[in-house]
Amino acid sequence: MRWINPIKKTAILLICCVTALHICLPGLRASAMFTPTFDLQSKAAILYSTDTREVLYAKNQDEKMMPGALVNLMTALICVENNQDLAGTQVTVKGSLFDAFVDYSYPSDLRYGEIYRGDVFTLEELLYAMLLTSSCEASVVIADEIGHGSVPGFVAMMNLKAEEIGMKNTHFTNPDGRYNEYQVTTAGDMLLMMQYIQEHASRVLEIARTASYSPQIRTQENHQSGTLTWSHANIMMDEESRFYYKGAAGLKTATLQEYGRNIMVDAARDGHHYLVILMQSPIYNENKENTYYHLQDAAAVLDWAFGHFNYEEILSLNEEIAEIPVENAKNENNYVILKPREELVMLWPDTVDRSVVQRIVVKEDSVKAPVQKGQVLGSIELRFGGETLKKVDLIATSDVEQSFVRFNLSAAREFRHSKWMKTALILSIVLTVLYLGVCVYFIRIYPKRTKPIRGLVRDRHKKGTRIRRD
């Protein structure tokens, strides 16, 4: 590989990474599996089971929207993957990095973490500030450090990672979530990013699920109190809030005044773990009053998930799906029963009757002995709402031995009606005709043609005898 230049090496590595990610990451369902009985204010929504890795509900999951501070999760991912010593890497804050916020058209969108010029924080501490408070200062400081002094270079890394993960409808323009019409994503792409983080960057999740964090103060002149605490912006974690939700943890909130609110939250109860993604929730109600529809929607979706979804057996291993006649079977065991090779257990709402699941069975009309137990003889496809839940092989539940007599009788019957029999019959007729033709030729025609020749030979022999006598 020494002859390959660095650019080619990078390209090869990228191709390998993309291939591996497409293999490892689970895909999203094409449409919503189930629909709640209530309406959501949020324009896009996803309910995802972290346990079963399935999308249970989706609304406008592929529609492009602005992520706002949800981009902080990608910023954190790039940081974690490009620095192996987060707690040991100290960064001195450059005041020039904050210039981007001075002329920003929507200052109310910005969230600050009390980070000032000259402050010294570790990358780990900056991650807490960004993921808990949506600190715009922490976002650009992280981007500058990991991007080796170039925030645009860091943004390029974000877009490259999005492409690797498979986020086809996502484009980033900044690491902090400021309003930009070209910074877009989808709820589905956000889920892909979260699936990748769950698999490869668990540290990001640990930080994003933290309720509060206090960093070490190294610059007393900027923090006269000597203490600083960052609390999570998702008040669903705050027991003092009216929006408190038991079991909720993180992950990220986002607000853009000219767009709406987004939230990504997960929650665990009674052995169930769900992730909810909501995008473009209205900020104001009909009376122009500030509302929190994103929190209300999140609670409603989680209540629905925890209150109505349970593990149900859709397909059992012991279920007899079909039977197939077996030809040439020994004794009277002339059929075989088919059962599924594997079961299907999935989260299912109690509001939907499982009998509505469509079963499409594909099998042979009959098979020939011998049949072995476990032999695949068909399949069953389970469909619901126009989607395939699963396709399972159907296997024989018993052995069926072959009868020697029945096999030979069957072979004889089949040969009699087969194309080989017809071919052999035609060939035998042709050979018979040829044989008869040859016989007629040698009996009737050939002797007549050869008789004068034999006479001539005898006359010559007689003349020769007479000459020798003289």
| pLDDT for position 193 | 98
| pLDDT for position 444 | 72
Q: Over the stretch 152-204, which tens digit does the pLDDT of each residue have?
A: 999 999 999 999 999 999 999 999 999 999 999 999 999 999 999 999 999 99
- pLDDT reading at 5 higher than 80: no
- Of 332, 341, 342, 327, the closest CA to residue 377 belongs to 341
| pLDDT for position 125 | 98
| pLDDT for position 345 | 94
| pLDDT for position 450 | 59
Distance CA 274, CA 49 (A): 5
pTM: 0.78
Q: What percent of the chain has pLDDT over 90?
A: 71
CB contact at 8 A, 40 and 60: no
- pLDDT reading at 469 higher than 80: no
Q: What angle do CA 45, 182, 152 make, to 5 degrees?
A: 115
How much is the average pLDDT of 118-130?
98
Between 453 and 259, the more confident residue is 259
Distance CA 33, CA 393 (A): 23
- Of 369, 364, 363, the closest CA to residue 326 belongs to 369
Q: Over the stretch 270-304, which tens digit does the pLDDT of each residue have?
A: 999 999 999 999 999 999 999 999 999 999 999 99
Between 322 and 430, the more confident residue is 322
Provide the pLDDT confidence category of residue 211 given band limits of 50, 70 and 90. very high
**DSSP summary character for residue 158:** H
Q: Over the stretch 440-451, which tens digit does the pLDDT of each residue have?
A: 777 877 666 655
Q: How many CA atoms lie within 13 A of 24 on its CB side?
A: 15
CB contact at 8 A, 188 and 32: no
